[in-house]
Amino acid sequence: MKEVQLYTDGACRGNPGKGGYGAILVYGKYEKEICGGERETTNNRMELMAAIVGLEALKEPCKVTLYSDSKYVVEAFLQGWVHSWRSQGWRRGREELKNPDLWARLYELTETHEVTFVWVKGHNGHDYNERCDRLATAYADSFQ
């Protein structure tokens, strides 16, 4: 299996508001930047989308270390919450989980790839996290 690093970040101008996501895939000396967004969205949706589009860009199953400054995304997998939500039909107890469509997509991708989630402190000088933030905010700012 190829070993890939995936760096992700999401941004939102208002919450909800104009949003963007950025992802950078690193494989050896190769890097690929991906960005996108939505006119009306939330920060959590953009954090999830960054991880999803990064993993979807891989053409074959890979061993991926995914770095994110979103504790919500990282902890959902590290603490096993996502398995519980899935077994309950993407619910959290009696409440419907927010963004079940994105959680289901991300979960499925973690079944395809061997993903290790790593939390990084945002806006703390981490080069790839800062680059992802610039991609995400630039996309969010591109909406008129």
Residues recognised as catalytic: 9-10, 47, 69, 123, 133
Angle at 71 between CA 56 and CA 92, to 5 degrees: 85
What length does the chain have?
Answer: 144
Residue 126: which of 2, 15, 46, 24 has the closest Cα? 24
Q: Using CA atoms, how far apart are residues 13 and 26, in angstroms rounded to an integer?
A: 28
CA count, 13 A, side-chain hemisphere, 44: 12
Asked whether 14 and 74 are in contact (CB, 8 A), the reply is no
